[in-house]
């Protein structure tokens, strides 16, 4: 049985406008996006889709403008009955030196137009909920904003509902997120798979000053997702791009075995010296790897080392470092070592392709002189994620299946905790409420 799949090849990172451009280049009609975005009644908003090139790679540049732009754009760029020839030069009201500011200003999105700033998460939620958008677009758009709100709330120490979006609350960022969800629905809601992500170094100018790359919100959103930093002075991943990947991607890998039907490129604004500033998207099908009633299988590497001279503080930091580096799981087991010394067994479950690099992390971050390595075969459920709305809060649901049978259903605890804080309700009540919403 074939599975519909959208693969995001993030060789130059990802932002909201690049994602929309790639979806249009895959075949989503701009007129569809214009029709659906009109349901938000964002006064004076104009979308542009323009075919451009980055280092000889052609694709769609998506741009959003506010206000009267009749003097600055040709008529064709406003006629969204085109299939794809214009795009928007996303710049969420930031004057960054190279890419973006707190949100989708990746690859230099600079709108030279006034933006409406300061929308709160609650205002954005009301805007989307009160629209005539489809249930899928509403739910997924709200889930993406919820991720950003939770991340910003943790950074600034405020409840998610009280987070005031500046760059992300601008019209162009709202359009990026909603248009992405509209585009995915137009493509038939394919399963999304992405490459592991990376970001550069340096500084970005945000609403409250200069901040280091990766942006703090980006790092918060990418918890649990394969991610690394490279030595290039550029912001490759914006918070909006990170939230889109975190919400939709169910797997992170190189291009999987698939039958490619269409290839699209969404372009960023900046012209980079070392690579095309583009997001590549592949749409196609791949054969289901698991027959109904049969568990999925894979191979993993178990790394182990006995430690008796590592302080608990360093041991705790090592666990977090390994998880961020891509470990599937890390745990400590108390043991008694030679000379009756108390110690612990460090166990790290690693993807086979990351085992050696994770071993290097153990050597550098602990007192280990040796690491045992074994290969394990696993049975596992197929995993996917859906987002439900409960009392106005977006809560992700983890679902484990074997063929056509749903075996495990579990609300994401971090989402339940954030919702409980926003609503002033016990976490247990939110947890069971989200389960009931999913079952209904």
Give the model confidence (pLDDT) of 9-66 as tens digits. Answer: 999 999 999 999 999 999 999 999 999 999 998 888 899 999 999 999 999 999 998 7
Q: Output 167 or 413, whichever has higher pLDDT.
A: 413
Nearest residue to 21 via CA among 105, 86, 77: 86
Q: Is the pLDDT of residue 99 over 50?
A: no
110 and 17 both lie in a single domain: yes
- Residue that terminates a domain, selected from 229, 258, 287: 287
Q: Is the pLDDT of residue 193 over 90?
A: yes
Q: Is the pLDDT of residue 276 over 90?
A: yes
Instruction: Report the pLDDT value the prediction gives residue 88, as an integer from 0 to 100.
Output: 37
87 and 167 both lie in a single domain: yes
Place of tokens 């609650």: 122
| 76-85, 111-120, 226-235, 351-360: least confidently modelled range | 76-85
Percentage of residues in the chain having pLDDT higher than 70: 83
- Residue that terminates a domain, selected from 338, 361, 380: 380
Q: Is the pLDDT of residue 323 over 70?
A: yes
CATH of the domain at 324: 3.30.70.1380
Paired sense of beta strands 393-402 and 382-390, if any: antiparallel
Instruction: Report the pLDDT value the prediction gives residue 165, as an integer from 0 to 100.
Output: 61
Q: Is the pLDDT of residue 256 over 90?
A: no
115 and 242 both lie in a single domain: yes
Place of tokens 């629905």: 185
Instruction: Report the pLDDT value the prediction gives residue 367, as an integer from 0 to 100.
Output: 87
345 and 276 both lie in a single domain: no
8 and 46 both lie in a single domain: yes
For the segment 280-297, what is each residue's pLDDT rounded down to a tens digit? 999 999 865 545 446 777
User: What 3-state class would DSSP assign to 100?
Assistant: coil
Instruction: Report the pLDDT value the prediction gives residue 76, as an integer from 0 to 100.
Output: 36
- Residues 354, 126: Cα–Cα separation, whole Å: 43
Residue 86 DSSP class: B
Q: Output 333 or 90, whichever has higher pLDDT.
A: 333
- Residues 48, 348: Cα–Cα separation, whole Å: 48
Instruction: Report the pLDDT value the prediction gives residue 172, as an integer from 0 to 100.
Output: 83
Nearest residue to 88 via CA among 208, 201, 171: 171
360 and 402 both lie in a single domain: no
Place of tokens 């990351």: 354
Q: What is the residue-averaged pLDDT of the chain? A: 83
As for how many domains the chain has, the answer is 3
- Give the DSSP per-residue string, 49-77: EEEEEETTEEEEEEEEEES--TTTS-HHH
169 and 232 both lie in a single domain: yes
Instruction: Report the pLDDT value the prediction gives residue 170, as an integer from 0 to 100.
Output: 74
User: What 3-state class would DSSP assign to 296?
Assistant: strand
For the segment 324-342, what is each residue's pLDDT rounded down to a tens digit? 999 999 999 998 888 788 8
Q: What is the mean pLDDT of residues 119-138?
A: 89
227 and 327 both lie in a single domain: no
369 and 388 both lie in a single domain: no
265 and 364 both lie in a single domain: no
| 78-87, 233-242, 416-425: least confidently modelled range | 78-87
Q: What is the mean pLDDT of residues 353-374?
A: 91
428 and 309 both lie in a single domain: no
Backbone φ, ψ for residue 292 (5° rounding): -55, 135
- Residue that terminates a domain, selected from 380, 399, 430: 380
Instruction: Report the pLDDT value the prediction gives residue 122, as an integer from 0 to 100.
Output: 82
Q: What is the mean pLDDT of residues 383-401?
A: 91
Tokens of 242: 């990170």
- Residues 188, 2: Cα–Cα separation, whole Å: 14
Q: What is the mean pLDDT of residues 71-84?
A: 35
Instruction: Report the pLDDT value the prediction gives residue 207, as an integer from 0 to 100.
Output: 66
- Residues 182, 108: Cα–Cα separation, whole Å: 24
Instruction: Report the pLDDT value the prediction gives residue 118, as an integer from 0 to 100.
Output: 56
Instruction: Report the pLDDT value the prediction gives residue 6, as an integer from 0 to 100.
Output: 97
Instruction: Report the pLDDT value the prediction gives residue 428, as an integer from 0 to 100.
Output: 93
Domain carrying residue 395: 382-439
User: What 3-state class would DSSP assign to 22?
Assistant: helix
Q: Beta strands of 183-328 (E only): which ranges?
A: 191-194, 197-199, 203-206, 209-212, 227-229, 249-252, 259-267, 278-287, 296-307
CATH of the domain at 434: 3.10.20.300
Tokens of 358: 């994770």
Tokens of 130: 């009160």
261 and 407 both lie in a single domain: no
């Amino acid at each position: 049985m074939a599975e519909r799949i959208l693969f995001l090849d993030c060789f130059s990172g990802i932002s909201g406008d690049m994602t929309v451009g790639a979806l249009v280049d895959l075949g989503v009609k701009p007129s569809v996006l214009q029709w659906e975005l009109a349901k938000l009644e964002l006064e004076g908003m104009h979308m542009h889709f323009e075919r451009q090139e980055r280092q000889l790679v052609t694709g769609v540049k998506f741009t959003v403008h506010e206000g009267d732009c009749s003097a600055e754009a040709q008529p064709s760029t406003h006629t969204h009955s085109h299939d794809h020839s214009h795009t928007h030069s996303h710049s969420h009201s930031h004057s960054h030196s190279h890419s973006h500011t707190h949100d989708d200003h990746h690859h230099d999105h600079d709108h030279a137009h006034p933006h409406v700033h300061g929308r709160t998460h609650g205002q954005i939620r009301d805007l989307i909920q009160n629209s005539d958008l489809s249930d899928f677009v509403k739910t997924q758009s709200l889930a993406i904003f919820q991720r950003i709100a939770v991340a910003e709330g943790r950074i600034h120490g405020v409840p998610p509902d009280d987070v005031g979006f500046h760059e992300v609350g601008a019209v162009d960022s709202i359009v990026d997120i909603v248009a992405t969800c509209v585009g995915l629905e137009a493509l038939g809601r394919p399963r999304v798979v992405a490459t592991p992500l990376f970001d550069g170094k340096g500084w970005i100018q945000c609403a409250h000053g200069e901040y280091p790359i990766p942006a703090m919100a980006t790092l918060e959103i990418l918890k649990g997702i394969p991610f690394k930093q490279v030595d290039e002075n550029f912001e490759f991943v914006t918070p909006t791009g990170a939230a889109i990947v975190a919400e939709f991607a169910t797997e992170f890998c190189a291009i999987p075995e698939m039958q490619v039907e269409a290839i699209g490129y969404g372009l960023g604004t900046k012209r980079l010296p070392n690579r095309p500033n583009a997001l590549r998207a592949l749409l196609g099908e791949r054969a289901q790897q698991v027959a109904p009633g049969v568990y999925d299988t894979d191979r993993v590497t178990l790394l182990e080392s006995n430690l008796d001279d590592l302080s608990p503080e360093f041991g705790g930091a090592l666990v977090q470092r390994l998880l961020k580096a891509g470990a599937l799981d890390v745990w400590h087991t108390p043991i008694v070592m030679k000379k009756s010394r108390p110690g612990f067994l460090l166990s790290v479950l690693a993807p086979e392709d990351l085992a050696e690099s994770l071993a290097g992390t153990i050597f550098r971050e602990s007192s280990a002189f040796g690491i045992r390595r074994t290969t394990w075969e696993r049975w596992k459920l197929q995993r996917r994620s859906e987002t439900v709305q409960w009392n106005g809060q977006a809560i992700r649901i983890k679902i484990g299946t074997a063929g056509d049978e749903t075996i495990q259903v579990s609300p994401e605890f971090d989402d339940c905790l954030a919702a409980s804080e926003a609503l002033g309700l016990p976490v247990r009540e939110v947890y069971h409420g989200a389960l009931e919403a999913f079952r209904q």
